Structure 1
């Protein structure tokens, strides 16, 4: 019989603050890593007229050729403003929810792990969604056709011209529908793979915790592998909701897509499917999403785990036979 004693406990305010910082840093590192792929994904998802006939690589080359290299990171400033509180809230919430569900359902509950991830994702999205809308608007712009000149300008313009503060949450329902399976599966798969590696492959995937507690922690390559697989699986399920969210967020950016501005999530999904089908509509840009989601989630989880160890939140998992 194998028993595991898990690592980090959110037992006081200091631990929660450390987890918040660790999560924020992890999110910033992950999003910056894939920022160019994020931008071309948005341009492809929303059928930008300058890029709708491009693929991933030709689109990236065209951005550099037409708008210069730094244009690959357009909107990343707004992304960083959003992603630190988003990732910090998500990871910290997950630790708190996980601890709560463990006390209710036991330490290895599949339902508890999935529910903790889903609830953490929903919590983070609720507090940071307007910043995601703003970042998408900035990233959708191309050189010579700028409508907005900064984060505050986007926010005030949307509120003033598109129906008040509520407009900043356009596409929120689609985001929640996608976030529940995405965050739930991401955390669930990562946690289960992490436990499996430590239980069955500790010689190849683990090393002793630096705090000399007798616990084991995953090696960096193992963290990246577990995170990458978690990201790929989660994106496969939730991607159509991501496409729907982008169409709704960017509805007022061009006359062709303005029709999505006054529609609900279900109607938007139906129109995307009717006009473009599954592959070229609901899953448009999926290839690039795998290219960005796998390294993004891998870097995110790996950085978070490393930050927890650095901040002495992670004392390792102790595997006992008995």
Structure 2
């Protein structure tokens, strides 16, 4: 005979509690993947422009953010703004899925096993989740960066498969797919950590101090309060802006290291320290380490806003609350 609790859970979610438990990780994986894809699709043109500016592409290095956004369609057509986005979607689904799913699991582990709670465990779990997702999907990020850096008429790669084959053959095998991993991991720790930390903190403060104004009952569990959609968007945007500001110079170094031999000065960008020193010496802080930051502010706000909002929505759709 089913217990009162299981009957209540079934009536509320439409599926038995045992089934919900068995497939929780799959649903969590899907929710994170959908959130990542929605977020990146929203800002794909801005991502392409950021890569072109960060790596000082000779066709666009003399232009600013908005000038480049206008110049790319004129030179390469409007689809040029989405160059490399196919590789991005292949990468971002598992990336978003692993990041959000591992964040929930790391948070539970730190709380239950190590007794770490409050803001600290949210910051640590976010950092660990970001690094886990990066390690699992990094080769796809390298491919996406290489494809996005190409300009019409000067293609070194014909597609994702050709890029994989070429890098493996000419850049030291598997090692070639992990150029720039160190600055990526170093940069991801504060980025993901502060992103999840800021969003989680704003969410908990909002629901604690203004639940009627900012919150509403979850559609899959009326006992759980969730933020309203527009509040989720706001909190996600703030989280992205803060996280990007802290980690941006490491993102610049990562991109230059990823692009490897297709840059004429690649021999000066072999390690994180050398890359940061070279970019600072040659281009300075504003024109080098923080080149394209204005674009990052424009792109990170909607990206993180959509990511967190979509994930919170998918948690309700897939009965994760």
> What is the TM-score with the length of structure 2 in the denominator?
0.91
SS of the residue 1:272 aligns to: helix
SS of the residue 2:53 aligns to: helix
Paired residue for 1:243? 252
Match of 1:297 among 282, 295, 304: 304
CA distance in 1, matches of 2:174, 2:221: 51
Paired residue for 1:143? 152
CA contact (8 A) 2:110 2:117 kept: no
Q: Which runs of 5+ in 2 are unaligned?
A: 1-19
Match of 1:259 among 251, 267, 285: 267
2:118 maps to 1:109: yes
Deviation per CA, 1:199-220: give whole Å up to 9, x if none: 1122221112223532211100
2:294 maps to 1:284: no
Deviation per CA, 1:80-118: give whole Å up to 9, x if none: 000000110000000100111121465852211111000
1:39/1:277 CA distance change after superposition, 3 Å: same
- 1:58, CA displacement in angstroms? 1.0
Q: Which runs of 5+ in 1 are unaligned?
A: 1-10, 315-322
2:88 maps to 1:54: no
Paired residue for 2:17? none
- 1:259, CA displacement in angstroms? 2.0
CA distance in 2, matches of 1:183, 1:77: 23
2:100 maps to 1:91: yes
CA contact (8 A) 1:220 1:302 kept: yes
Match of 2:317 among 293, 310, 316: 310
2:197 maps to 1:188: yes
Deviation per CA, 1:244-296: give whole Å up to 9, x if none: 000111131132x32245x2111111111111111111111000011111110
CA distance in 2, matches of 1:111, 1:198: 19
CA contact (8 A) 2:241 2:297 kept: yes
2:280 maps to 1:273: yes
SS of the residue 1:313 aligns to: coil
Deviation per CA, 1:105-153: give whole Å up to 9, x if none: 6585221111100000111001100000000000000111111010111
CA distance in 1, matches of 2:283, 2:65: 18
CA distance in 2, matches of 1:18, 1:222: 24
> What is the TM-score with the length of structure 1 in the denominator?
0.91
2:40 maps to 1:37: no
CA distance in 2, matches of 1:211, 1:126: 33
Match of 2:85 among 73, 76, 81: 76
Number of residue pairs aligned between Structure 1 and Structure 2: 302
- 1:76, CA displacement in angstroms? 0.3
CA RMSD of aligned residues (A): 1.4
